[in-house]
Amino acid sequence: MIGIIDYKAGNLTSVARALQYLGASWTVTADPRELSGCDRIILPGVGAAGEAMTNLRRLGMDTWLRECLAAGTPLLGICLGTQVIFSHSEENDTPCLDLVPGWVRRFPDGLREGERALKIPHMGWNRVEFSRPHPVFAGLPAAEYYFVHSFYPDPADTAHILGRTEYGLRFCSALAHRNLVAVQFHPEKSGAPGLRILANFCRWGGADAQ
């Protein structure tokens, strides 16, 4: 059973539909007691870091997620769910979960690609270049993934970075730390390659992550 954390950050339905398409068993809940019975956990989300952290703390999810990481349960962060795993976000000047040391930074104004001005938020399809193997990203073709974000992860330890993307600057778009993997893009909206990531996560035991 895969637990999808409901912390009022949206995007739950598309993740659940992707898991249903893959034939996985899932539940959406805001109750840590129900989540404790799940084999794997997904922390999705869209929205603002400040409100997200307020909801996670109100639900007791901040403490529970730290316990979940320590217990070795496989975790997957998606978009905002990736950003809140870090120590601090520049969005709303928000202290976050600190599951992975590092920061979440806003794309600076004036980003350009050659002569073309780039819009913020970064929205649409973009390539992820994976730098080293990991079971959750195994067997993926060269592909683009769907992004919607104005902030990006900046891990303190570059060894945690698995994938990078270019958008006016080169940023971390996929990472791993112990039994936690996280992506800044939306695998549930990224077609066959995104479904492959979710399918790999459904089989991943978590123990072989760096």
CA dihedral 162, 9, 151, 184 (to 10 degrees): 20
Residues catalogued as catalytic: 79, 186, 188
What are the structure tokens assigned to 151, written together? Answer: 């902030």
Residue 152: beta bridge partners? 105
Cα separation, 57 vs 93, whole angstroms: 16
Beta strands 40-43 and 2-5, pairing class:
parallel
Return the number of other C-beta atoms located less than 10 Å from residue 20's C-beta.
11
Beta strands 26-29 and 2-5, pairing class:
parallel
What are the structure tokens assigned to 142, written together? Answer: 């060269």
